[in-house]
Amino acid sequence: MSYVKDILLQLLFALTPFVLYNIYYRDKAIHFSKPFIVITCMICLLLSMTFPLSVEDGIIFDIRYVIMFFGLVFGGMTAGMILLLEFMAYRLSLGGAGLFSALIILSITFPLSLLLSFLYRRYSKWRMLIVLIAGLLFSVIPIGVMLVTERRYVMDNLTFNILAMPVQNSLGIWLLFTLFHKAVSDKQLYLDYLRIEKVDTINHVAASLAHEVRNPLTAVSGFLKLMRNEALSPEKTRQFIDICMEEIKRTELILSEYLSISKPGKRQYEPVDLSELSNAIVEIMTPYANMNNVHLSPFENGPDIRVSANPNEIKQLLINFLKNAIEACSSVSNGQVSIRVSREAHHAKIAILDNGIGMSKEQVDRLGIIYFSTKNKGTGVGLTYSYQLIRSMNGEVSVRSEPGKGTEFLISLPLLPAQSPPDAMRSITG
Ligand code: ADP
Ligand code: MG
């Protein structure tokens, strides 16, 4: 009965990849990486081999084969080889009577794990069965080998060998694979929704953009016609050309901002000026606001409010908040949405205000929870992603809302130190 504690401990170790995955990838809209699998499996292997089950000195049992199989399935051949090396080095340093048998068992289970991992990836329908067969084989093979190499030991501890090993391996492999698989497929579903939401946003913005681009084009063509048909003074001509250039420049700006949100960006963080950014986002979202009969206005924001962020991600974040605010105002008369950037001691504050339908306390409490949406065609991932992003930048977000009155989202992000003024300025300021 005392083995129950040891078995439970091994099962706890089998949870390592799942637990670390949930901690490390909680706020990240990305899949796990192979280095992540290698590191978590190495930790798991080390723990399970350091605290194994043992009834006789030098002969130890743990969930090593299960972990190596897991590493091969999710991390590929490189992960498998690294785990193999770790196992060999650690097992050789531990030594003891079971060393010889351990090496023989490994020479059978490792190629078998390779084959099973290949089958696992190839036949997705049979995955659960393959995992269970693996768990069983990882128990039967060691006992079979030890019946030859350590017959006396196996016979002396028959109940332990027949019960403890299969239970430990089967439960361990089942826990490890089902939980990790569940976490990964949940994340995949979320990433799929996120992609749909992004495409949806881009489509909505694009639809409204088409309208917005037509206006300056009409204006420009009107001026060009005028210049062709009328004999205008050189001064008038220059004035018209200036207006046309201004219109074209604005259209260009809107289009290039639009293109920047629709193409996948780099993953780097860099200093981002929030005032500039909020003005650009207002440019992008104005057509969408116009289409919904909502007035969107930027505040006069102070200069040089900079945070460290990925420009594409933070753009997407503000678009999510503004889009929600505009949608909340679409059914009210005289809908107003504004975005204000300000600075506090160590934080940049971004406030997104609207006088839309607002939210009840229950709705506010559910904000950020995945798939929560009150809209017919909503996905409910926009805010989840935005909240995660804010947390990953060490920021915070708070909400004040009243049904029928409106909503205010207040985002707080760590401020970057102000840029030092140019030399000329410095001499003036002292
Ligand atoms: P979606 O917009 O697809 O519904 P989001 O994650 O962007 O998903 O938003 C989740 C929910 O939060 C919305 O369905 C809406 O009920 C609520 N919400 C977000 N922003 C506002 C706002 N400014 N005013 C009122 N409700 C809002
Ligand atoms: Mg939304």
Distance (Å) from CA 325 to ligand 1 centroid: 8
Give residues with Cβ within 8 angstroms of 145, minimum separation 6.
101, 104, 105, 108
The residues near 134 (Cβ < 8 Å, ≥ 6 apart) are 66, 69, 113, 116, 173
Q: What domains sit in the chain, N to C, each tagged with a CATH number?
A: 2-197 (no CATH), 264-429 (3.30.565.10)
Question: What is the best residue among 203, 326, 383 to mutate for testing ligand 1's pocket, by most ligand atoms within 8 Å of CB?
Answer: 383
Q: Report strand pairing: 335-343 vs 294-298.
A: parallel
Q: What is the pLDDT along the chain (430 residues), one digit of tens a residue?
A: 667 888 899 999 999 999 999 999 887 888 899 999 999 999 999 999 999 887 777 778 889 999 999 999 999 999 999 999 999 999 889 877 778 888 999 999 999 999 999 999 999 899 999 999 999 999 899 989 988 988 888 888 888 888 888 888 899 999 999 999 999 999 988 888 888 888 888 777 777 777 677 778 888 888 888 888 888 888 888 988 998 898 888 788 777 777 766 666 667 889 999 988 898 888 888 888 988 999 998 776 677 899 999 888 898 899 999 999 999 999 999 999 999 999 888 899 999 999 999 999 999 999 988 888 998 888 888 898 899 889 889 999 999 999 999 999 999 999 988 765 544 444 433 3
CB 407 within 8 A of CB 353: yes
The minimum-distance atom of ligand 1 relative to the CA of 320 is: 7
Using the mean position of ligand 2's atoms as its centre, give its distance from the Cα of residue 193 in Å.
12
- Identify the pLDDT of residue 301: 67
Taking a C-beta distance cutoff of 8 angstroms, is the pair 280, 317 a contact?
no
Alpha carbon distance 260, 314 (integer Å)? 12
Buried/exposed code over 148-175 (b: 16+ C-beta within 10 A; e: otherwise):
eebeebbeeeeebbeebbbbbbbbbbbb
Cβ atoms of 348 and 335 closer than 8 Å: no
Ligand with an atom nearest the CA of residue 373: 1
Give residues whose Cβ lies within 5 Å of ion ligand 2.
324, 382
- Residue 307 tokens, joined: 């945070």
- Residue among 186, 168, 136 at smallest CA distance from 32: 186
Residue 185 CA to ligand 1 centre (angstroms): 25
pTM reported for the whole predicted model: 0.70
Cβ 374 under 6 angstroms from ligand 1: yes
Nearest to 208 by CA among 316, 287, 295: 287
Beta carbon of 380 within 6 Å of any ligand 1 atom: yes
Give the pLDDT score at 324. Answer: 94
Closest CA to 268 of 324, 309, 316: 309
Ligand 1, atom 23, residue with closest C-alpha: 325
